[in-house]
Chains A and B, each alone.
Chain A
Amino acid sequence: MLGGLGVRVCSSGLRGVGSCWSGLVLLLALGCGASGSEGDGSKADTAKPDPDETVDTPPKDSGPVRTPVAPGKLQVAGGDPGNVTLRRLNRTEYANTLYDLLGVRSETAREFPSDDVGHGFDNIADVLTMSPLLTEMYGKAANEVISKVFAQSTATPQVQHVEAETLVGTVGAALEDFWLLFSNGTIEHSPTVPAQGLYEVRVRAFCDQGGAEGCEMSLDVDGLAAETVTVTAVQSAPAVHSVQVELKGGVHSIGASFLNDFYDAIAGVDRNLLVDWIEVEGPLGVEPGPNPLTARLLTCDPVTIGESECARHVLEEFTPRAWRRPTVDSEIDKLMDLYQVARAEDGDFLAGLGLALEGVLMSPHFLFRVELQADPSPGDIVLLSPHELATRLSYFLWSTLPDPELRAAADDSSLLEAATLMAQVRRMLADEKSRALVDNFASQWLFLREFDEHQAEYALFPAFDETLKGAMRKETELMFARALDGTLSVEQLLTSDYTLANDRLRAFYGIGGGTAEFAKVSLAGTNRTGLLGQAAIQTLTSYPARTSPVKRGKFILEQLLCSPPPPPPPGVEGLASEAMPTGTLRQRLEAHRAEPTCAGCHQLMDPLGFALENFDAIGAYRSDDSGGFPIDASGTLTDGTQVSGVADLAQALKNDPRYARCVTEKLFVYALGRGVTEKDTDYVDLLSEQLAQSAFSLPDLLVELVQSDTFRMRSSETAGGKQ
């Protein structure tokens, strides 16, 4: 069972990680392998293992003994890599993983409840709880995607036609070939459309016109008017009216409503709408044919090799991918049991396989990132298995499961070699999937996700529409992406004298020329510099109706310097929102700061925020504030540095060693899915020193972080745990 317990690199009594390495090499030489976790190794053993042993017994073939990662520069004497609680995939990771596995997007996953947040990120293990609601939605999502994969074909376009007189409207009566709507009302039916896609709804009708006006008719989809038209056609030539709508697969109500009934008995004027038929056609623009998703998954022919054999074959290929590690026979056996249940009940091969695949997706091995508790004695430090490491790496850089190449490096354990690990990180960063670091790391670090809910009051900021919002967000994302690919250093993220903007954003910034698309543009003459000069940051640190130097200062302290100000003392409350006639925001805040209880923190926050006062609550440049007072963007930072405006501030922050360390710390939290503890201080210090030595290259920092002991190891859970 030694191998089964995982590599016990060093005992709790042996604190120096450096000294653990010799232990590791020794164990490797003894053939214990680095494949400490379940099913690790290259291929599942064909010999059927004892069911009780399946989970923690690795297959025999652990591959050749590999040289472990050399004791690197990022060791901490006596260091403790810490313990990460079993991490549930968050909703982004879950959706990405399903997509990469099956090539299909889950609608259900889109509706998962928001994951709760700790330390500013939504991938924190302890905070990712599992609820009955989520359990239910996991089941629904699994069923949904497997159904999509096994749908007989990609939805064949079809026309569903129904004669109105065969239906019953809310008012009126059948009249020959028509349904007569003699007062305002609706006639509709409920076709089932085969798949999500674009559909055309058509209604043929004529108007029994009373007076000059035609009949107002809405084309209704699911009870709402998708289009309103005026029907002027007469009985001899009813007209077809249509509208195209995006529909999900399933039952929808499709119909027409008469909206402007008119009846004047005395004048003898009566307006009625007569509907001939209603139809829906679609999905439009889809080629009928076999479902390529099925073909991708079904890598054998059940008719030739036998149904059970084929089911087993598919499960043996799919399950290790889904669970991000090799499986053992007994695990596949249990899934085959599920296959048999539905195969017997339904008499259908795909029904059986589908249920087994749903089982794969409902398994805790899929929903959680399992890192086995290698040893019951708390405090022991163990190296992650190659598959556990690959999984950490992949979810860190890509927010999804390992791709075949990374999986291969885990299968042959080469990922444990420093050179391979580094090469994999570089490769993964170059892959477009590393965009996940923009979408999930930067968007949370820099608050960009707040755009989904951020409001600016329309009366004050009519320019703030969805297009502008989108452009603001994209600017900051693109600039971060430049840091991620090494074009910009972490320092230049703050001090860059250019940005990436499209026509809308350039107009907003007052920059002439350029193309409609996002392109590099000089910031000369704009009073903007780097990250803090970007409208996104300025907007997201404002209230709906005004700027908040305090919020901006707090953002800088918390997100860029990791030095959160102490919270306000009880009973001391925020600034009144209404502009008081007696002074500028600055004067009022300065009065605030004169209060001894407030001074300590506001001296930290306010000067940082005031340096950005030239940018209003949606980041437009201004020289006067909303009260008409000239902006004074000067201030003195706590270290005595005089700053005036965003360029000065950017320089000051760049020179502040806390900035580089803070970027490191935020990445550390995101990478590991846990908060930084005192035990981590040395690791974070070392990493941020590395960052300074590598000319503040973000990709280099990622490489170092991944190679650090904290990322590649875990210490066994100390006693206690969650209540």
Chain B
Amino acid sequence: MRYQRLSRRWVLGGAGASLTLPFLESLPQAGAQSAALKRLVVFYVPNGIHMASWTPATEGPDYALTPILAPLANVRNKVLVVSGLANEPAIPDGPGDHASGTGAFITCAHPNKSETEIVSGISIDQVVAKEIGGSTLFPSLQLGVDAGTSAGGCDSGYSCAYARNISWADPSTPLPKLTNPGTVYDRLFAGLDPTVSAADKVRRSLYQTSLLDYVKGDIETLSPKLGQRDRGKLDEYVTGIRELETRLGGAGLISCDPIARPASDYDFVTHVQLMTDLTVVALQCNLTRVVTFMLGNAATGRSYDFLGVTGGHHELSHHQDNPANLAALETIGTWEVQQLAALLEKMDAVDEGGSSVLDNSAVFFSSEIEDGNSHSHRNMPIVVAGGLGGALDTGRHVAYKNQEPVANLLVSLAAGLDVDAAGFGDSTGPLSGLT
């Protein structure tokens, strides 16, 4: 009945308590056999950061944690605070910084201002997933908490596709995120149902293959009869089919204890926690090595009244230097970094034979803009956590002087995962000073 014990702890964790070390240790060490299993996690927070409460006063290892960064105290030696980088491609054509900043968040490509002609660039997580994603059941995962309702425009003439997605498979294909923890769980562990017999698995796999072949044949017959734009839509479908085929072929790659399905009742705080829990489990079980997570959609007007803050987040972020607004933003920013810290601590609690999952990962944390008032895309608030197996020299605050592209940092992170991302976004090369 070991699973039942695990499941209970899991759910308790979801309900408020944090996941405990014994739980994590009790799972198999997926990475133990290859200590250098490296991962990339991207953590997006909306509406910018109150920079005066974020940026450390000094550089180097001895910087003092600022109020918003304070929650990182337990993992500060595994964290790199990065200042002075710019994401220039995110600068919109006219207004629309939130959508544009999100659309360019990790594509570092200039989003096309349109409600329908959606063009950004491939995102760094997808550059990495295309290289290393084949070794896991899921090349990458896209997670979030705001599904996004649909009403009115999203941001000044930019399609909502820019405001709700950060992962882009190619310049015209944003990858939607899952926001329901139960659905994520079902997806991650569907292939691991211990009640399904081996024979049934083989049979289902045969059926899947036949189905996918059928669909491919159908698309091939249909495609020539369609216009070019229509064919583009079918091409997107073919991409999906191919990914499923790859997964069928690799379904036997991992073994991992299933855990209990997260409860379906949760508030916002628990929701975020469940998603970071699932992130950790997915990495730990080597179900994927690439995860992107959105703590909210661009320009969310979420109320943080549970933190004692009055007003919607977006509305507050237009702070006009009003002290009350700035205090509220510091509170929200600190809470956001707490969520990051919780993720990092959970990743750090998973031992992979002398190093932790965190030690072997890079976690990139930032927002779509620098600050909600200025809507600037320079001096971006960035934390990189995890050592990428020693590729990053963490425990420092490093400040760049010339507004180097964020893309350069992302190229360097990819390089740490042994992925050559030369030419990515507006990058001019790898970023120096990280090692």
Contacts and interface: CB of A to CB of B under 8 A. Distances in A.
Do these two chains interact?
Answer: yes
Interface residues of B, number: 105
Interface in A638-697: 674-675
B165 A453 contact: no
A346 B203 contact: yes
A409 to B, nearest CB: 25
Interface stretch (B2-10, B18-26, B66-74): B2-10
Interface stretch (B231-239, B332-340, B349-357, B421-429): B231-239
Interface string B148-178: 1111111011011100110001011111111
A678 B32 CA distance: 61
Given A120-B152, A368-B233, A370-B222, A113 B176 contact: yes
B237 A364 contact: yes
Most B Cβ at <10 Å: residue of A119, A335, A458: A119
Interface stretch (B272-280, B310-318, B360-368, B399-407): B310-318
Given A86-B229, A224-B11, A459 B305 contact: yes
Contact of B178 (A133, A575, A720): A133
A334 B161 contact: no
Interface in A561-579: 564, 567-568, 570-571, 573-578
B230 A129 contact: no
Interface stretch (A186-194, A390-398, A481-489, A493-501): A186-194
A26 B164 CA distance: 50
A473 B3 CA distance: 44
A334 B215 CA distance: 10
Nearest to A192: B195
A355 B211 contact: yes
Contacts of B142: 133
Contacts of B52: none
Given A131-B240, A345-B206, A717-B227, A558 B152 contact: yes
A55 B305 contact: no
Contact of A132 (B161, B175, B222, B318): B175
B228 A117 contact: no
Contacts of B229: 83, 85-86, 126, 717, 721-722
A1 interface: no
A719 B231 CA distance: 13
B159 A170 contact: no
Interface stretch (B35-43, B320-328, B389-397): B320-328
B222 A124 contact: no
A124 B115 contact: yes
Given A129-B174, A224-B11, A723 B95 contact: no
Contacts of A118: 114-116, 118, 159-161
A70 B434 CA distance: 72
Contacts of B305: 455, 457-459, 544
Contacts, number: 321
B118 A126 contact: yes
A38 interface: yes
B221 interface: yes
Given A117-B160, A576-B325, A717-B229, A127 B211 contact: no
B418 to A, nearest CB: 23
A570 B206 CA distance: 57
Interface stretch (B257-265, B284-292, B409-417): B257-265
Nearest to A6: B225
A545 B152 contact: no
B79 to A, nearest CB: 31
B161 A186 contact: no
A567 B195 contact: no
Contacts of B173: 129, 131
Interface stretch (A7-15, A444-452, A506-514): A444-452
B374 interface: yes
Contacts of A459: 305, 310
B263 A223 contact: yes
A116 interface: yes
B159 A117 contact: yes
Interface stretch (A16-24, A228-236, A336-344): A336-344
Contacts of B255: none
A717 B228 contact: yes
Contact of B240 (A55, A132, A370, A444): A132
Contacts of B77: none
Nearest to A542: B312
B244 interface: yes
A399 to B, nearest CB: 14
B226 A372 contact: yes
Given A38-B225, A359-B211, A223 B11 contact: yes
B152 A126 contact: no
A93 B156 CA distance: 27
A570 B95 contact: yes
Interface string B179-201: 11011000100100101000000
A86 B214 contact: no
A132 B239 contact: yes
Contacts of A370: 222, 226
A111 interface: yes
Given A115-B150, A124-B115, A363 B316 contact: no
B301 A544 contact: yes
A320 to B, nearest CB: 15
A135 B244 CA distance: 8
B119 A443 contact: no
Given A135-B244, A136-B240, A559 B152 contact: yes
Interface string A38-55: 100000000000000011
Contacts of A136: 187, 240, 243-244
A121 B241 CA distance: 27
B98 interface: no
B187 A576 contact: no
Contacts of B94: 567
A460 B151 CA distance: 25
B226 A373 contact: yes
Contacts of A131: 169, 173-176, 236, 240
A567 B156 contact: yes
B218 A364 contact: yes
Interface in A612-661: none
Given A85-B229, A116-B161, A364-B219, A543 B176 contact: no
5 contacts: A139-B208, A255-B4, A449-B151, A567-B156, A721-B232
Given A131-B169, A338-B211, 17 more contacts: A88-B233, A113-B147, A116-B161, A124-B116, A132-B169, A132-B240, A134-B240, A355-B210, A359-B214, A364-B219, A365-B218, A449-B149, A453-B149, A459-B310, A545-B303, A564-B153, A577-B324
Q: Which 7 A-B pairs have CB atoms at the shortest separation, nearest pair first?
A: A135-B240, A721-B228, A223-B11, A717-B227, A113-B176, A722-B232, A86-B230
Interface of B: 1, 4-5, 7-8, 10-12, 15, 94-96, 114-119, 139, 142, 146-154, 156-157, 159-161, 164-165, 169, 171-180, 182-183, 187, 190, 193, 195, 203, 206-208, 210-211, 214-215, 217-219, 221-222, 225-234, 236-237, 239-241, 243-244, 260-261, 263, 265, 301-303, 305, 310-312, 315-316, 318-320, 322, 324-325, 373-375
